[in-house]
Amino acid sequence: MTTVLDSIIEGVREDLEARARQTPLSEMQALAASADSALDAHTALEAGRDDPSGVRIIAEVKRSSPSKGALAEIPDPAALAAAYQSGGASVISVLTESRRFGGSLSDLAAVRAGVDIPVLRKDFMVDEYQFHEARAYGADLVLLIVAALDDRQLRDFLSLTHELGMNALVEAHTEEEIERAVTVGSRIVGVNVRNLKTLDVDLNHYSAMARHLPHDVVRVAESGVSGPDGVLDYARQGADAVLVGEALVKHGDPTAAVKSFRSASLSKEAQ
């Protein structure tokens, strides 16, 4: 049975083949090698652990999604990213998948030029080419989705990410996927409460999976945030960072929204 994730990856591969014909791997590797050094996203996110200023926010530039359709036009992704940074975001996530999310590598380059904090290329990484491409366009962090990769790919892609000077947010949804992520040496592990195979969301899922996350990894909660209370819930469940997309792009005042999310997490010790 073909899942939503399978369908997305099929389109990603088709679009990737077209880009690789236009810019061969050797040329993309040279562009990646000439790019400025990547910023340290691991340190930026690890700082959210036991920090009195609250959990770290990964704020997302996201025009649409397979589950919700169009979310926001975002005519100036760099300006949106700068507003996120002004609000206290630690990392900016940029969707670069075009068919389902309306993103592009141009968005990534624009955001990289518009902020001085780490930038995540959020896409479905299934080929070596994409990692050199991510670095060439200024990414400091890439997304590795455990459900989309076998163990060899996961290990090799994580190694390549580090060789290129970047960090990886390794995304899991199940206990078995968390174990696979940890086994290959992932340092930043996210739990997505959205099942990418069905697009179903379970807001209690992070709580169920959090106990399987080792204390020595940066723990990231992904999806399901509709407001400050959602960030607070994840903070209370031990998240070091929270990735937020829809709630930010639809808010109207992204700087104030990020500030409110950071502020909410300060009360995580309150009962």
What value does the mean pLDDT take over residues 29-40? 98
Does 268 score more than 90 pLDDT? no
Burial of 50 by CB count in 10 Å (0-12 exposed, 13-18 middle, 19+ buried)? Answer: exposed
Residue 168: count other Cβ atoms within 10 Å of its Cβ: 27
Are the C-beta atoms of residues 97 and 39 closer than 8 Å to each other? no
pLDDT category, 3, cuts 50, 70, 90?
very high
pLDDT category, 160, cuts 50, 70, 90?
very high
- Specify whether 222 is catalytic: yes
- Specify whether 60 is catalytic: yes
C-alpha R_g of the chain: 17
The pLDDT of residue 65 is 86
Does 27 score more than 90 pLDDT? yes
- Average pLDDT of the chain to the nearest whole number: 93
Record the pTM. Answer: 0.95
Catalytic residue among 64, 65, 122, 167: 122
Report how far residue 187's alpha carbon sits from residue 51's, in angstroms, rounded to the nearest whole number.
Answer: 18
The pLDDT of residue 271 is 41
Tell me the one-letter amino acid at 141: L
pLDDT category, 269, cuts 50, 70, 90?
low
Catalytic residue among 46, 62, 177, 186: 62
Tell me the one-letter amino acid at 226: S
CATH entry, 4-269, from 3.20.20.70, 3.90.850.10, 3.40.50.720, 3.40.50.300: 3.20.20.70
Report how far residue 244's alpha carbon sits from residue 33's, in angstroms, rounded to the nearest whole number.
Answer: 31
SS3 of residue 188 by DSSP: strand
- Sorted by sequence, the CB contacts under 8 Å of residue 226 that are 6+ apart come out as 246, 247
Q: What are the extents of the domains in the chain?
A: 4-269
Minimum mean pLDDT range among 6-20, 112-126, 234-248: 234-248
- Specify whether 204 is catalytic: no
Report how far residue 125's alpha carbon sits from residue 134's, in angstroms, rounded to the nearest whole number.
Answer: 10
